[in-house]
Amino acid sequence: MYVIVGAGGFLGSYLIKAVLEKTDEKILALARTGNVFSAESNRVTVMKGDLTDEAYISSVAEKIKNENLKVIYTAACHNIDYVAAHPDEAYHMNVTVPCEFLEKIGKTDSLLFTSSDTVYGEGGSYAFREEDELSPLSTYGRQKLEAEKVFIAHGGKALRLPLMFSESISPVKKHFCDTIRENLRNKIPTKLVTGAVRSTLDYGTVADIITELSGMQNVPDVLNIAGEDPLSKYELGVLYARAVGADTSLIVPVESFGAPPVYDARRADSTVMSNEKLKKLLGREEIKIKL
């Protein structure tokens, strides 16, 4: 049985899709709203609830008792600026709650934690390798790094994810990709920044890779999941416009969006991750974004 924690989110939705398509296993989808992709499938059981509620976690633990478990943990307080403004609240969600969850559920056959490229810090043109020294710039990055240690201590693997971009298949969330597509259809220009270059992939490819890794025994404790081509959001927007046959001039390059908000967290100008270890593990020559 797969247990997908944070199943109502962007990645959680694509993970459900990938598991349904690539395996014959059942899925227990944990979602705060109770609304998840393909909830009508007889292979998907949804448990609505809040991970900060101890009674909810206890009920999940009882539900999965005696099951062979593949757990993929995606839930987090992801908004970097919100985390900077509310560090204690975010720490509880990003570090304390996962620790309590792991203590409750006990042994798993596979335990994968979705971490972030923000654990690395500023890279310039350098492609970060998994063994490199870490200097996260944001509170969010530091909390994700601490959570990595919690999962690894429980026998899990930390998967450091790139910027992800796809149309949403979540029943409860709209991605900024959807906004861009709507703007392109309506001939409305979209301003996208030319800086902040990051490793980039689509949600579907990331979900397929995670599903494949969940069935492997030789996954290292820490693994980058990244594509071949680092992109700025502007470059990503242009590629997407081409992919959907839209006018690329509607994607407008800007250096920044102006003055940051009061609690704007620091971002790296460049966070590129090496995917050499991932490609060797999967036996692939390249990993490309699909739009």
The C-alpha atoms of residue 121 and residue 124 are separated, in whole angstroms, by: 10
CATH number at 2-166+200-228+273-282: 3.40.50.720
- How does pLDDT run across 113-134, given as a tens digit for each residue? 999 999 998 887 789 999 999 9
- Tokens linked to 164: 């992800």
Does position 261 have pLDDT exceeding 50, yes or no? no
- How does pLDDT run across 84-120, given as a tens digit for each residue? 999 999 999 999 999 999 999 989 999 999 999 999 9
The C-alpha atoms of residue 125 and residue 20 are separated, in whole angstroms, by: 38
- Tokens linked to 87: 């560090």
Sequence ranges of the domains in the chain: 2-166+200-228+273-282
Among residues 180, 255, 264, 196, the alpha carbon closest in space to that of 230 is found at 196
Does position 40 have pLDDT exceeding 90, yes or no? no
Going by the DSSP 8-state scheme, the letter that residue 260 receives in this structure is P
How are strands ordered across the β-sheet holding 2-5?
44-48, 27-31, 2-5, 70-73, 110-116, 157-161, 222-224
- How does pLDDT run across 51-86, given as a tens digit for each residue? 999 999 999 999 998 889 999 999 999 999 999 999
- How does pLDDT run across 156-204, given as a tens digit for each residue? 999 999 999 999 999 888 999 999 999 999 999 999 998 789 999 999 9
- Tokens linked to 153: 């201590």
* 31 backbone dihedrals φ, ψ, rounded to 5°: -145, 135
Share of the chain above pLDDT 90, in %: 85
Which pLDDT score is estimated for 182?
Answer: 97
